[in-house]
Homo-oligomer: A and B are copies of this chain.
Amino acid sequence: MSHSPLLRVELLNTGSELLLGQVLNTHLQFLADALWPLGLGISRQTTVPDGPVIREALLESFARADIVFVTGGLGPTTDDLTRDIVAELLGLNMQEDPAIAAVIRERLEKRGIRITDRIFRQAQRPEQAKVLSNRFGTAPGLYFPPMRLAGRGEALSPHLFLLPGPPRELKPMVETEVLPRLRALLPPAPNRRMRLWRVVGVPESHVEEAVGEALLALGIEPGYCARPGEVDVRVIGTPEQIEAAGKLLQTALGFAILPEEMRSLEHFLVAELAGRKLRLATVESCTGGALANRVTNVPGSSAVFGYGYVTYANEAKQELGVPPTLLEQHGAVSSQVAESLALNAQRRSQADYALATTGIAGPSGGSQEKPTGTVYIALAEPGGTVQIEHHVLQTDRLSFKNLVTQAALNMLRRALEKAPASAS
């Protein structure tokens, strides 16, 4: 793998809320993904509560690691101690940074939030610390180059990054402030690359069966990571091995592989529809807006998506045009109603494609004939043909919504694959 064998990286997550189980710690997964292309792997991750134990954990990591990332404890409250503890360990004085103070002031004034002394604690930083700007919060990150540890002879501190805890602040800071700094610090990566393919709508065991042994025969150890409705295949090797692996995967699974730059099925579909000047509408019963939400998470989706309907009540389905007799005869959760929803949404929105969902998300509402988890998904296509899928997805309510939206988007992907690529 492309990890620098000489550099040891550790991650220290601080925050009582993590140890109390109130907040799920996603930092390790995010940072591991972000550091990978630089040839860096994390060798140990530790979570400690807010408070003086951070000092002890930092000293342990300092003794082992070349690069240490710390998350949390940079905010304005009394349990935010990270800055002060680091200043003490490195023998640095705290000083007010006028640039940080100005950014905090501007940010708060713009949002109409009252400025308090407490908030200005975040403008204090240890001398010699480099500021990592925070576009999405008031507490900046800090970078400390290696320096003598206070009262510990010749021992040098590692490259030290103090980062905010909230993911919406951490992630952009890593992208724009941390990774460029690390690239400048690191030696050029050796002749090994990583490549990842995202495969949608094929179970993990089928993916491995289709490509596993052939990849091993190329001298490559593949990694698989399964999520609801998709599997990532990761390959590490020389550029030649990566190219051979790509050809192999395209041959075996090409129909199910997302283009490299597409992070998700919805990104792929928005780009594909926009390229063909086609439009999509959604009408949702059991997914309750989750499908429209996924589509509109994609920047630029307004070019292809104009109308969404959440027809949770039968009256809402009728208002859209579903005949009351259809609802009476077959029930709201039926292929007939799914079809009618899709066709009516297509007609009302004048979209080229319309996706409809109707099902029983649970936990209650199921019956002997239609158990919880039953769902019908309909796709109305140009010309008025309708594809229908029926699934029984027995899981929790949120996973159900997620799996149904994945299946619905995947129906559209397959339909676009079959349709001629020219504009309609």
Chain A residues close to B by CB (< 8 Å) = 1, 15-26, 28-33, 36, 41-50, 53, 57, 75-79, 110-111, 113-114, 116, 118-119, 136, 166, 168, 172, 194, 196, 203-206, 208-209, 212, 221, 223-228, 232, 234, 282, 284, 287-293, 295-297, 299-302, 305-313, 315-316, 319, 348-349, 361-364, 392-399, 401
Q: How far is the CB of A2 from chain B (nearest CB, A)?
A: 12
Q: Which residues of B contact A225 (CB under 8 A)?
A: 15, 17, 22-23
19 pairs, A vs B, C-beta closer than 8 Å: A15-B225, A20-B41, A20-B234, A21-B31, A23-B29, A43-B48, A44-B53, A45-B46, A113-B206, A116-B206, A118-B209, A287-B296, A288-B308, A289-B291, A292-B292, A297-B401, A299-B362, A307-B311, A307-B312
Quick check: B29 and A24 within 8 Å, CB to CB? yes
Task: Given A21-B31, A118-B209, A136-B395, output 16 extra A-B contacts at Cβ < 8 Å.
Answer: A19-B43, A19-B45, A20-B223, A22-B234, A23-B227, A78-B208, A113-B203, A116-B209, A166-B227, A168-B228, A168-B396, A289-B310, A293-B293, A299-B363, A305-B312, A306-B315
Q: Return the contact of A309 from the options B194, B290, B308, B363 (Cβ within 8 A).
A: B308
B302 touches A295 (CB 8 A): no
- In Å, the complex CA distance between A240 and B16 comes to 23
A224 to B: closest C-beta gap in Å? 5
Contact: A208 with B77, CB < 8 Å?
yes
- Cβ contacts under 8 Å, A166 to chain B: 226-227
Chain A interface SS verdict (over half): mixed
Chain B residues, Cβ within 8 Å of A116: 205-206, 209
Q: Are B295 and A288 in contact (CB under 8 A)?
A: yes
Within the assembled complex, what's the spacing in Å between the Cα atoms of A361 and B196? 29
Min CB–CB distance A196 → chain B (angstroms):
7
Q: Which residues of B contact A172 (CB under 8 A)?
A: 396
A276 to chain B: closest CB distance in Å?
Answer: 18
Which residues of chain B are near A301, meaning CB under 8 Å? 288, 312
Whole-angstrom CA separation of A32 from B15 in the bound complex:
13
Residues A297 and B25 in contact, CB atoms below 8 Å apart: no
Q: Given that A44-B48, A46-B46 are known contacts, is A399 also in contact with B296, CB under 8 Å in the complex?
A: no
B299:A288 contact, CB within 8 angstroms:
no
Please measure, in the bound complex, the distance between the C-alpha atom of A349 and the C-alpha atom of B297, giving whole angstroms: 26
